[in-house]
Amino acid sequence: MTAQTSVSELPVVIIGAGLAGLTVALHLAATQPVIVLAKRQLEEGATAWAQGGIVGVLGTDDSIASHVQDTQDAGAGLVDEHTAEFIARNSARAVEWLVEQGVPFSPDPEGPLGLHLTREGGHAVRRIAHAADATGKAIHDVLLAEVKRHPNISLRERWMAVDLITDRHLRRAGGPGATLSPTDHRCHGVYALDIESQRVETLAASAVVLATGGAGKVYRYTTNPDTSTGDGIAMAWRAGCRVGNMEFIQFHPTCLYHPQERSFLITEALRGEGAYLRLPDGTRFMAAHDERGELAPRDIVARAIDFEMKKHGLDHVWLDATHLGEAFLKEHFPTIHARCLSLGIDIARQPIPVVPAAHYTCGGVVTDLSGRTDLPGLYGVGETTYTGLHGANRLASNSLLECVVLGRTCADDIQAQSRQMPVVLPGWDESQVTDADEEVVIAHNWDELRLVMWNYVGIVRTTRRLERALHRIKLLRSEIDDYYANFRVSRDLLELRNLVDCAELIVRSALSRQESRGLHFSRDYPRTLPVSFPTILCKKPKKKDAWLP
């Protein structure tokens, strides 16, 4: 079966319905049709979970140079200065655009744009626009409502991308596409699974945008939603794109430690407003690790908590905000106050039990500042990408900003491209597979992979642990590939396949970095080298395990 579409009808297919995907869709929809795929409910992405806010260089006490410096300091020497300057220079316009869309940021009549600005770890001044402590949800709700109203945007809920369609699919299938030169290389669309019907469709596209978020679910404990399975990173890697800085997985220092809530984030803004980290006896410990105390960058705070937990044999530490007062906490952190109270923790009177958890993927698919990948016709925006902004550690609240700024430039570049002549795309072939007979294999491999990553590739690493992890990942990959080859695809199988790809990328990147820097800390290489470079992995075609550091 084949799929062919006329040039005028070819849509842009955006994989992911978070801030990155919705921003691209809204900027594109005035000139061309757009399809947005969301593999779960539209509200379930990572954007809606973001509590802190979005950076805006707005105040008279702030400057682009100051924001760039803070980004570079947090990124531990691996931030691309041109990227950081471009993002900072466009930050005010990004916040203004969100205000124009109707995002209800917390007001301050005396603040720039009438907004209240807060401060988070690593920032020299207050520059974080926020909507109380649920900024991501406020932004996502507004943009999603706009997208739903737009006649040129088609939202497909519970649809998951299986793989990108490239020239190798055309050559393998024969037909008109097989006449393409071996030097031609392009993304022509995507195979997508309708999860409700379990049917895979062939979606031809003028361009495909990866906006799938990070790979936090590769770890046993994470602040990420279930959607964060590294889908875009894995698909782009399999299609031949470079991947960068995958060793730098940010562990958020303060995830709520509670048996009923394993993924609830306690925003960094709480420490920005003066909350303290304490041991069970009440001792504050951050001053012993960094002169900035609780306002040190996330990697330092996470390692400090990890150190204290191991030193004292603790399951968690305490985040104490009781001295801030009940009225202040209810006004500025209503979501955290209400959620903790529902679990029996009154944060105005009791410290909050917290533990570090995998939070943000600082590396990803290599793109430029227009979202272009190595594969023509394929773009990426947001956490799924590596642009050089985050370096070895992301500065708080730069993530939402990157989505808005580069979402616009991505859309601009797509609109500027000449229309591609359509080609006949091969349909999805299920003739050699059957229904799965033992789905317990997927659940078992999923649990084993996440446990291996948590135990061997966590906050503190060693070469031996990484080598052990790589050995086990290879064994898991063999089982998963065999399962994929013989049975019909499902969401769980596709996510597991993508996670094992991301796990191997993380481990191989970590093994290639023989120093400690930012989020990557190795006991075998504790020093930071005077000069260092990003870790870029390149997959050579037709050679197994052909990796270039």
Catalytic residue numbers?
298
Measured between alpha carbons, how far is residue 215 from residues 71, 230, 333, 502, 525 in Å? 22, 4, 27, 7, 25
Compute the distance between CA of residue 331 and CA of residue 99 in angstroms, rounded to an integer: 21
CA geometry: angle at 219 spanning 217 and 223, to 5°? 60
Query: What span, in angstroms and rounded, lies between the C-alpha atoms of 437 and 495?
Result: 18
Is there a contact between 45 and 140 (Cβ–Cβ < 8 Å)? Answer: yes
Element housing 353 (H / E): strand 352-361
Strands (E), 362-495: 364-366, 378-380, 385-386, 425-426, 460-461
Give the position of tokens 């601009």.
412
Q: How far is CA 199 from CA 13, 162, 170, 298, in A?
A: 18, 11, 21, 42
Q: What is the DSSP string of 461-479?
A: E-HHHHHHHHHHHHHHHHH
Q: CA 159, 40, 389, 220 torsion: positive or negative?
A: negative
347 three-class SS: coil
Collapsing DSSP states into helix, strand and coil, what is residue 414? helix
Strand ranges across the sheet with 536-537? 385-386, 364-366, 243-244, 536-537
d(CA 115, CA 133): 14
CA distance 305 to 26: 41
Question: Do 219 and 456 form a contact (C-beta atoms < 8 A)?
Answer: no
Position 246: which residue type?
A: M
The encoded tokens of residue 188 equal: 């022509």
Angle, helices 491-512 vs 463-486, to 10°: value is 150
Buried b / exposed e across 169-188, counting CB within 10 Å, b at 16+? bbbebeeebeeeeeeebebb
| Of 368, 385, 297, nearest in space to 69 by CA | 297
Give the residue from 270, 305, 266, 268 showing the smallest Cα distance to 288: 305
For 470, the token pair is 């790589």
